[in-house]
Amino acid sequence: MCDIDLPDLIELSDFGGDWNSYFDAVYEVFRNDFIYSSVEFRGVKLGLKRHPLIDDKEYTFYHFTTSGSIETDRIADISRCERIPWAKPTIENCDSWALKVW
């Protein structure tokens, strides 16, 4: 078994319940991890889907932070937002953490 060291969650309560400030912070983590730096999965650099922009944010960010089976009706998902700091380390460490991927 290996140690899995993940960043802290980003919690809405840390922003006094202010959704806009919270969402901006979540987006900043996404930008730092996926736009301003590269992400590799098993040695292959990943790209992200930028368009269509949703509220001036990349489509991949929209998909990461919302849920729902009908793409045009997805809604913000707080648990996905909280865990945005986990995305990059999980992708880059999936093998060393013995995660099943498909």
Q: What is the pLDDT of residue 22?
A: 98
Report the distance separating Cα 7 and Cα 10, nearest Å: 9
**How many CB atoms lie under 10 A from the CB of residue 3?**
6
- Residue 1's pLDDT is 53
Give the pLDDT score at 2: 64
Say what the pLDDT of residue 53 is: 87
CA–CA gap between residue 39 and residue 47 (Å, rounded) = 8
The SS3 assignment for 38 reads coil
Mean pLDDT per 10-residue section of the chain, whose length is 102 residues = 84 97 98 95 91 91 94 92 96 89 78
Which phi and psi angles does 87 have, rounded to 5°?
A: -60, -55
